[in-house]
Amino acid sequence: MKASKSLERGILSSYDHQKPSIRLGYYLMNLIVLVMMCVMVYPLLISLFNGLKVNKEVNSFPPTFLPRDGWHFDNYKRAWEYIDLPKYLKNTLFIFGGNMLIIVIVIGFAAFALSKMKFPFRRGIYYYFLLTLFVPATTYAIPNFVNLKELGLMGWYGAIWLPAGANAFYLLLLKTFMDGIHNETFESARIDGASEIRTFFQIAFPLSIPIFATLAIFVFATAWNDWFWPNFMLGQDYKPLSAAIKTLVLDARMLDLNMKFAILTIVMFPPIMIFLFFQKYILRGLYLGGVKG
pLDDT at 99: 93
Are 106 and 114 within 8 A, CB to CB?
no
Coil vs helix vs strand at 2: coil
Are 17 and 7 within 8 A, CB to CB?
yes
Contacts of 215 (CB under 8 A, 6+ apart): 100, 103, 170, 173, 174, 285
| pLDDT, the chain, mean | 82
pLDDT at 5: 47
pLDDT at 159: 87
Q: Is the dihedral of CA 205, 207, 209, 214 positive or negative?
A: negative
User: What does pTM read for this prediction?
Assistant: 0.76
Residue 155 pairs in a beta bridge with: 234
Contacts of 274 (CB under 8 A, 6+ apart): 217, 220
13: pLDDT strictly greater than 70: no
104-111 contact pairs (CB < 8 A, 24+): 104/205, 104/212, 105/165, 106/165, 107/165, 107/167, 107/170, 107/171, 107/174, 108/174, 108/200, 108/204, 108/205, 108/208, 108/212, 109/200, 110/171, 111/171, 111/174, 111/175, 111/177, 111/178
More confident position, 15 or 265: 265
275: pLDDT strictly greater than 80: no
203: pLDDT strictly greater than 70: yes
pLDDT at 15: 65
Instruction: Dump pLDDT digits (tens) for 101-137.
Output: 999 999 999 898 888 888 888 888 888 888 888 888 7
217: pLDDT strictly greater than 90: no
More confident position, 55 or 161: 161
Average pLDDT over residues 45-61: 85
Are 36 and 250 within 8 A, CB to CB?
no
d(CA 235, CA 122): 40
Terminal-residue alpha carbon distance, the chain: 44
d(CA 244, CA 267): 11
150: pLDDT strictly greater than 90: no
Are 264 and 246 within 8 A, CB to CB?
no
More confident position, 108 or 21: 108
d(CA 90, CA 22): 53
Class of the domain covering 83-251:
mainly alpha
Q: What is the dihedral of CA 82, 87, 93, 96, to 10 degrees?
A: -80
Percent of the chain with pLDDT over 90: 7
Report domain extents, the chain: 16-72, 83-251
d(CA 242, CA 248): 10
What type of residue sits at position 41? V
pLDDT at 250: 80
Q: Residue 102's closest CA among 238, 216, 198? A: 216
d(CA 48, CA 33): 23
